[in-house]
Every structure is written in C-alpha cells, then in structure tokens.
C-alpha cells in the first residue's frame, strides 16, 4: 500500500488528492484556481485516486464496499475514505466518474504553446482494482451488463431521494506477482482465473479548456482529458495544446492495464502514484518538433502517435490519418502522397477507446523507419 505521503516520492513537488486539490466528474476550466504552481521542467509526484470503490452505485463507502471482497481496512487508501466522506460535489447522473487532481500552473505557458508531459514513474498504490460495466454505457450498452436495468434514468440516486436499485457489474481484480512481474487476476469460477500483465498508465491527462462552462470529465478533446491511450506508460510523452495562461494541467483515471477499445466501459481501474515532468514547448519550437497540430500528440521511445478524436469512429480514423500525414510531411519532409502510402503499408491505426462519447484513434508510427 502507498498511503498519502508515505513511501517513495520521486518528484521535486508532491501533490496528494484531497477534497481541496481535486474535482469529481468535472475538469478544470479557465476559472479554476491552481492548487500548485511549478516552473517549466519541474517534476511533480501526484497521488491519483480511482473512482472505483467510492462511487454512489458502490455505496460511496470504500471501507464497507471493499470489505465485501475481503479487503482489510489497512488496505483501503485513506485519501479514498476522505474523499468519499467529504462534501466534494458529485452528481452520479450528471457528472463523470473520474477523480481529477489539479490544476497545476506551469510558469510561462501561453496559448499556442505545447505542454509536454513526460511520465517518469508509475507506482501502484493498492494490490487490487476493478473492471466495471454499467447500464447504458460501454461498447454493447443494450446487451451488457446482463443484469436488470436500473430502475430509473442515469444509474444513480433518484432525484426525489427515493430508494434506487443499482445493477452495475464491478469485477474485482487482485494483483499478484508471477515470474517477477505484476499481473491482474480475474477469477471466473471453479478456481480458475485469467491472468494478464499489468501495464500502468494515466487515462486522463489534460490542460484547462478556455471556457467558463463546466467541463465533463468523460469526453476527451483538444485539451486532452480522458484520452485512455494505453501507450502512455513510463517513458512516454504527451503533448497538449495550451489553451489558457499557465496551462492548468490535471490528471486522474489511473489504470493498471487496459485493452485497446476499453469495451466494457472501464479499464483495470486502480490508484497510481505518478511522477511527471511538465515542460513548456514554445509555439515555434513545437511547430518544428510536431508540425501544425491542434490536437494532442503522443510519443514513446519507439513510436510517434498522432491522434484522431470524434464522436463518429470513421471520422476519428480520418482525423488520425490526416494528423499522421501532416506530421510526416511537416517534420520529416515526406511528400503527402508518399506519407499516405507509408501509413498504409507500415503504420497501425489503433482504437484507443469507444466508450467515452468521443471515440479515440491513435496511429503507431515506428521511429526506426525514419533513422
């Protein structure tokens, strides 16, 4: 267990998730004051919280809920208990589920710049997590969960305060070590379990949108947010188009593992201690490095990842193709028709997720092909 302020903290700054440093189900907008101010290039360690185990359909009582899966009280995170018991606003019907920590002001960031978010380390905070499906959501919203539909709209408490039946299906996943690597174990009866390797990443990283309106935590956008790109593991970088002075970076939705598509609705949701480096890339330098981008862009040690986002999956693919063609043309000097041919012959277009309203597609361009 990694309780707040305990154990290894790698960053120059430390940001816990508390009722004063987070939003629940909403993203920071231009009016949200920063909870931390840092210089460009500084590192920060953030204790992120998973929403699973604290949501209203789980009783908003993580101690009691987790006890039902045999989790002792000393393996329940105190920051999860504090948030669930707090008066932080959260409407199950209207808000997203995510606990969003921040925003962090990065000195010198201005609209038109890019904020580079380097993931330096990710430490699991608890030896368990959940994969959940809920009525009306996921890739098969009319087919799963195969329980009775909720007794009212939205899946949360009735507006008149009347009793509600919840029919969410939340699969408990225990973390075990096997052959020197951490795995999730998903039991399915008669002593059997599927075991799969963990590959932690932050599902939600973004900058504040230039609006005073409330910003829902579920759909991603040009500001980043709930991108759910499983390649954003340790060693990756995410580039976010700055929209307000100071950038106002935030993060949340920690995952221990996720398959492309995230088809049930959630990944393996579980809390992470993340150490990130936040660096402002000025507009001119960003244009040379990345091309003329108005959407987020990702990078790993081996691949560049242009993105496409749209409510229609076909259009998301088209946008990812356009972004990839533009990137190769503007940064590698490749003629556009040759870039399209290369992408067709050598690049993979992967579905990040199909469950967040705005679908995501990321293109995998091998760096080794352009040495």
Same domain, 274 and 333: no
Same domain, 332 and 267: no
> Nearest CA to 272 among 24, 74, 46, 22?
46
Same domain, 17 and 124: yes
| Structure token pair of residue 192 | 């059997």
Residue 94 lies inside a defined structural domain of this protein: yes
Residue 48 lies inside a defined structural domain of this protein: yes
Same domain, 257 and 353: no
Same domain, 224 and 112: yes
Q: How many domains does the chain contain in total? A: 2
Residue 207 lies inside a defined structural domain of this protein: yes
Same domain, 264 and 361: no
Same domain, 318 and 352: yes
Asked if residue 273 lies in contact with residue 119, where contact means CB atoms within 8 angstroms, the answer is no
DSSP per-residue letters across 328-358: HHHHH---HHHHHHHHHHH-EEEEEESSSSS
Residue 143 lies inside a defined structural domain of this protein: no
Residue 167 lies inside a defined structural domain of this protein: no
Residue 25 lies inside a defined structural domain of this protein: yes
Same domain, 65 and 127: yes
Q: What is the CATH number of the domain that holds 321?
A: 3.10.28.20
Same domain, 264 and 315: no
Angle, vertex CA 247, rays to CA 246 and CA 249, nearest 5: 120
Residue 76 lies inside a defined structural domain of this protein: yes
Asked if residue 45 lies in contact with residue 272, where contact means CB atoms within 8 angstroms, the answer is no
Same domain, 24 and 114: yes
From CA 209, how far away is CA 206, in angstroms rounded? 9
Domain limits for position 360: 302-370
Asked if residue 316 lies in contact with residue 360, where contact means CB atoms within 8 angstroms, the answer is yes
Full pLDDT tens readout for the chain, 371 residues = 999 999 999 999 999 999 999 999 999 999 999 999 999 999 999 999 999 999 999 999 999 999 999 999 999 999 999 999 999 999 998 999 999 999 999 999 999 999 999 999 999 999 999 999 999 999 999 999 998 876 544 444 444 444 456 789 999 999 999 999 999 999 999 999 999 999 999 999 999 999 999 999 999 999 999 999 999 999 999 999 999 999 999 999 999 999 999 999 999 999 999 999 999 999 989 988 888 888 999 999 999 999 999 999 999 999 999 999 999 999 999 999 999 999 999 999 999 999 999 999 999 999 999 98
Task: State the DSSP H helix or E strand holding residue 183, giving kind and residue range, or none if neither.
Answer: strand 181-189
Same domain, 325 and 261: no
């Amino acid at each position: 267990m990694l309780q707040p302020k305990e154990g290894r903290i790698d960053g120059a700054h430390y940001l816990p998730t508390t009722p004063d440093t987070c939003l629940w189900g909403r993203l920071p907008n231009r009016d949200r004051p920063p909870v931390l101010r840092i210089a460009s290039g500084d590192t920060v360690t953030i204790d992120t919280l998973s929403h699973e185990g604290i949501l209203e359909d789980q009783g908003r009582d993580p101690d009691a809920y987790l006890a039902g899966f045999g989790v002792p009280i000393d393996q329940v995170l105190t920051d999860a208990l504090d948030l669930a018991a707090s008066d932080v606003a959260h409407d199950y019907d209207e808000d997203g589920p995510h606990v969003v920590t921040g925003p962090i002001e990065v000195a010198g960031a201005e609209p038109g710049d890019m904020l580079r978010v380097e993931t330096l380390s990710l430490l699991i905070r608890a030896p368990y997590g959940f994969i959940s499906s809920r009525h009306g959501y996921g890739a098969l919203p009319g087919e799963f969960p195969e329980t009775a539909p909720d007794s009212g709209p939205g899946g949360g408490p009735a507006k008149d305060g009347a009793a509600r039946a919840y029919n969410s299906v939340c699969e408990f996943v225990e973390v075990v070590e096997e052959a020197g690597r951490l795995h999730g174990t998903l039991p399915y009866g008669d002593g059997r379990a599927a075991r799969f390797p963990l590959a932690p990443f932050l599902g939600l990283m973004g900058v504040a949108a230039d609006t005073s309106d409330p910003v829902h935590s579920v759909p991603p956008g040009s500001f980043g947010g709930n991108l759910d790109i499983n390649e954003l593991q340790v060693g990756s970088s995410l580039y976010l188009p700055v929209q307000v002075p100071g950038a106002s970076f935030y993060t949340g939705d920690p995952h221990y593992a996720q398959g492309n598509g995230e088809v049930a609705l959630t990944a393996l949701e579980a809390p992470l201690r993340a150490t990130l480096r936040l660096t402002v890339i000025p507009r001119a330098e960003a244009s040379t490095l990345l091309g003329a981008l108005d959407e987020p862009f990702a990078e790993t040690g081996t691949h560049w990842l242009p993105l496409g986002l749209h409510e229609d999956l076909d259009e998301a693919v088209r946008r990812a193709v356009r972004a990839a063609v533009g990137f190769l043309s503007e940064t590698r000097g490749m003629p556009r028709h040759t870039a399209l041919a290369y992408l067709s012959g050598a690049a993979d277009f992967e579905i990040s997720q199909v469950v967040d309203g705005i679908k995501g597609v990321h293109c995998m361009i091998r760096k080794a092909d352009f040495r």
